Structure 1
Amino acid sequence: MIGKITDKGVGSFRNRIEYIFGLCKHEHALTTIRTIGRNCFSPDPLRHGHDKDKIDVEEMIQEFDAVEKLRNNAIDSDRVIKPVWHAILSLKPGETLTDEQWREAIEMYLTDLGFSDLNKWVAVLHGDTDHQHCHVVAQRIRLDEEFSMVKDSNERSRSCDSTSRIEDHFGLIKAPAPTETWGTAISRNALEAAEREGTIPLKHRLIAKIAGAVETTAAAQGDMFMLISLLRKQQVYVHFTTNSDNQPTGIAYEYQGKVISGRQLKRSRLTFQKLTQQEGISYDPETFRELEVEAARRDSEREERVRIYYLVLRARNRRPRRISIRVQNQKELEATIKLIITAILSLFGIKANFEFEDKKEGAPYYQLRSNWASLPQSEQEKDLDIAWDDHKELAL
């Protein structure tokens, strides 16, 4: 079972209620419309039949809308609220539930999402040639003394947990969690348009491109620079939103002139936070300016890889000093290190020779040999180690 919560609405419930009862244009052919359950006083709109001229939704609309009017009269507040809540619960093709099972499933779902008997709701079953699914429209304002609202924080995560519980309860086929798959629902309109054009919907082509780049980057233990580079090769470009500290708070993806945020594409995997915290794409806040420059590139020329190394000078009982160095290759790195250290030590009259030694995995060391024997004993005791770390890989 898949649960999808649509965008919340302000104002009247008319559009949502007319939609679920088939009184306005629908994105699929309706072969079955049946009221599964409700907790309002108004009669079932389908009581006189299923023909459009016999479906009467006016009393139900007035009852749902009256709750917000009562709240406005009781509470002096200018805060804009969104009381209209609409969700769809869908079974896999071939699966069915009885009306009694559907009602039990709906009540379980609403309870898990924070609704109670104080919230008005109605559930309508739609059956078509593909699969059974049920629309649930509910009033988020509770009929209590404070006219409190059902909270929507983490509601999509709670929705997934609830549908999983329903699947277990009725022995339904388990749908994969959003964090386990790159799939996302395709609207009937988008699917029909794609079939006419002989293409895959743009949103799903974009997700496929991003998914491949994310998986390749994660497998290589790469960073945001690598991800952006891989995406650019597929003509997918990245945009960041930032906070007052000029640090990224969001990410959007541009493809064929259309920009879609990671939250809209797949909030469980493609937001900036999910990429860095869940998918394992490393990110260094100190490199964000360079990251913005990299993301702004649109050329497809061959990229040269540049490594940033840190040269660390360690003296006994002193705080290490770190110097950032950009070099093209290992040979250039070695020459740079020798030049810097030789220059520093020459200030003290020390002639330096270098020997390379790999003291531990991933951390090559240069052991310094010098004419220290001619120096006073106190000076000889000041050991000096030079180390470098392969810190980041940048695409320039």
Structure 2
Amino acid sequence: MIGKIFPKSSGSFKNRIRYIFGCTKHDHEISQIVTLDSNCISKDPLPALQAGSEDDVMEMIQEFDQVEILRQMSIDSNKPIKPVLHAMLSLRPGETLTTSQWRTAVRKYVTDLGFAENCKYVAVMHRDRDHEHVHIVANRISLDEGFPMVKDSNERSTSMDSVSDIEDIFGLRKAPRPLETWGTALTHAQIQASIRDGQLPHKHRLVAKIAGAIEVTNAIDGDMFEFVRLLRKQKVYLHLTLDNQGQPKGISYEFDGKHISGRQLKRSRLTWNKLITQEGINYDPKTIRELQEEIARRDTEEQERIIRVYYYEFRRRNQGFFIKFTAQQIEVMKIVEAIMKLLELIFGGGFTAKESSYDTCYIEYVPGEPLEIVSLEQSTLRI
């Protein structure tokens, strides 16, 4: 099951309620509509609609809209509000719930979101050719004293938790959850594709890959070069646009042959500026030419087979030193982890590591061989 909360809106409930009852054109075919649940005083609009009359649906709309009018008359406030909640619960193809089970699921969901009995709501099921889904329209204004609004903080996280509980209650297959996509919203079309294919949409898979690369880069105190390499391992490639000074001003991400700019993908986190200033990925403007060369590489597997020399700086507070080792790119992190464990045994924890240029003195590390302290000013010391 997938839970989707549409953007909040102000004004009348007319468009949302007419939509869920099939009075307007839909972006999918509805083979059957069933009113599942409602705490409204007005009649179920379906019988009249099937007879060709919208009188009862207009009566329900008026009942929803009247609540905001009562609130405006009761409290002295010109603060704009958005009382319209529109949510949707979707099953995978082949899965089904009885009307009673759907009613239980809907009541749990709206209760988990904070809607009490004094909040008007209606739930309508659409039976499509391949899957069932339910639309829920609710009024965020409660009829309690003072007409308080239902809070929407952490609403999407609460929605995912509630959906997970419903899946457990009725033994439904767990739907893919975009836990690593930083809350990137799903469109209606993406929800349908996710249900059919059993995987996250392209955009969400891409964001998850980038998010993972950012986390690893930060964990090893890496820079933009490391970020590029980590993305390349996942078949994600970067494209930069430069300003008049030859420095990056924009970035786009390529995955499965599709290009998406950082601004379109996640404006608050994945633009070039946000990667540097907010996500903490180190970038030296002097390295732009080398960075462009690194970005242009596509032969990941071939690059991983190339053996090269690495210099890593290991530092803990004011204590630090350089270690030199030779390895394939694919083996680097394993060697760094081994060195970190060795340092922890000798000095205790707290060290961080990052790739660097060599200093005047460094330790030569060859697995299985004695350590050598190499100084450019003094002779080599074997340990």
State the match for 1:260 in structure 2: 264
**Structure 1 169/368 Cα, relative in aligned 2: closer, same or farther at 3 Å?**
same
- C-alpha contact 1:93 1:131 (8 A) present in aligned 2: yes
Q: Which residue of 1 aligns with 2:22?
A: 22
Q: Which residues of 2 match residues 153-302 of structure 1 at below 5 A?
A: 153-179=153-179, 187-188=188-189, 204-212=201-209, 223=222, 225=224, 226-228=226-228, 234-236=236-238, 256=259, 258=261, 259-262=263-266, 285=280, 290=284, 300-301=295-296
Cα distance in 2 for residues equivalent to 1:204 and 1:332: 41
> What CA deviation, in whole Å up to 9, does each residue of 1:30-52 have, x standing for no partner?
11111111111111111324365
Distance 1:129 1:292, change over 3 A: farther
Structure 2: which amino acid aligns with 1:115? F
Corresponding residue number in structure 1 for 2:358: 333
Judge conservation of contact 1:71–1:147 (CA < 8 Å) in 2.
yes
Superposition deviation, residue 163 in structure 1: 1.4
Counterpart for residue 150 of structure 2 = 150
Q: 1:4 to 1:271 in 2, by over 3 A?
A: farther
Change in 2 beyond 3 A, CA 1:302/1:238? closer
TM-superposed CA distance for 1:211, in Å, is 4.1
- State the alpha-carbon separation in 1 of the partners of residues 260 and 201 from structure 2: 15
Rounded to whole Å, the distance in 2 between the matches of 1:45 and 1:310 is: 70
* Matched-pair contact (CA < 8 Å) for 2:126–2:132: yes
The structural deviation recorded for 1:301 is: 4.4
Unaligned runs of 5+ in 2: 242-249, 299-307, 323-354, 379-383
Deviation of 1:190 after TM superposition, in Å, equals 10
Partner of 1:110: 110
Assess if the C-alpha contact under 8 Å between 1:254 and 1:260 holds in 2. no
1:119-138 correspondence runs (5 A): 119-138=119-138
Q: Partner of 1:47 in structure 2?
A: 47
Aligned position for 2:348: none
Cα distance change, pair 217–263 in 1 and its aligned pair in 2 (3 A): closer
Q: What amino acid is aligned across from residue 128 of structure 2 in structure 1? A: D
Q: Report SS of the residue matched to 1:138.
A: strand
Helix, strand or coil at the partner of 1:48: helix
- Separation in 2, partners of 1:177, 1:191: 14
| Secondary structure, aligned partner of 1:126 | strand
Q: Assess if the C-alpha contact under 8 Å between 2:140 and 2:149 holds in 1.
A: yes
**Which region of structure 1 is more displaced relative to structure 2, 25-34 or 90-99?**
90-99
Secondary structure of the 2:264 match is strand
Three-state SS of the structure 2 residue aligned to 1:88 is strand
Q: How far apart are the structure 2 equivalents of 1:21 and 1:75?
A: 33
Show CA shifts across 1:293-317 (max 9, x none).
Answer: 97xx8775469999785899xxxxx
Aligned-partner residue type, residue 84 of structure 1: V
* Superposition TM-score, scaled by structure 2 size: 0.62
Letter of the 2:266 partner, please give it: G
Secondary structure of 1:179's counterpart equals coil
How far apart are the structure 2 equivalents of 1:253 and 1:111? Answer: 41
- Deviation string 1:327-377 (CA, Å, 9 cap, x unpaired) is xxx99725x44xxxxxxxxxxxxxxxxx9577x99x98668999xxxxxxx
Name the CA distance, whole Å, in 2 between partners of 1:27 and 1:40.
27
* 8 Å contact kept, 1:214–1:227: no
* Percent of aligned pairs with the same amino acid: 41
CA drift of 1:28 comes to: 0.8
What is the CA distance between 1:168 and its match in structure 2? 2.1
1:3 touches 1:89 (CA, 8 Å); kept in 2? yes
- 1:178 counterpart SS class: coil
Contact kept? 1:6, 1:85, Cα under 8 Å: yes
- Bigger CA drift: 99-108 or 119-128? 99-108
Residues 312 and 356 of structure 2 are in contact (CA less than 8 Å); yes or no, is this contact kept in structure 1? no
- Are the aligned partners of 2:2 and 2:191 in contact in 1 as well (CA < 8 Å)? no
Give the 3 Å change call, closer, same or farther, for CA 228–189 of structure 1 in structure 2: closer
Aligned length: 306
Query: Which aligned pairs between 1:349-360 and structure 2 lie closer than 5 A?
Result: none
Partner of 2:67: 67
The residue aligned with 1:393 is none
SS in 2 for 1:85: strand
* Cα 1:80/1:186, change in 2 over 3 Å: closer
2:39 & 2:279 partners in 1: Cα distance? 53
Instruction: Return the alpha-carbon distance in structure 1 between the equivalents of residues 33 and 114 of structure 2.
Output: 26
1:92-140 deviations in Å (ceiling 9; x for gaps)? 2112222222111111111111001110000001001011111000000
Alpha-carbon contact 1:19-1:25 (below 8 Å) kept: yes
Deviation at 1:149, TM superposition (A): 0.9
Measure the CA separation in 2 of the matches of 1:134 and 1:190: 13
Please tell me whether the aligned partners of residues 178 and 204 of structure 2 are also in contact (alpha carbons under 8 angstroms).
Answer: no
Q: Secondary structure at the match of 2:85?
A: strand
Deviations 1:213-263 (A, max 9, x none): 555676786546233565588454599xxxxxxxxxxx9966646532438
- How many Å separate the matches in 1 of 2:51 and 2:292? 56
Alignment RMSD (CA, Å): 5.0
1:142/1:149 contact within 8 Å kept: yes
Distance 1:320 1:30 in 2: 67
- Following the alignment from structure 2 to structure 1, what is the Cα–Cα distance between the partners of residues 356 and 238? 35
Taking structure 1 as the reference length, what is the TM-score of the superposition? 0.60
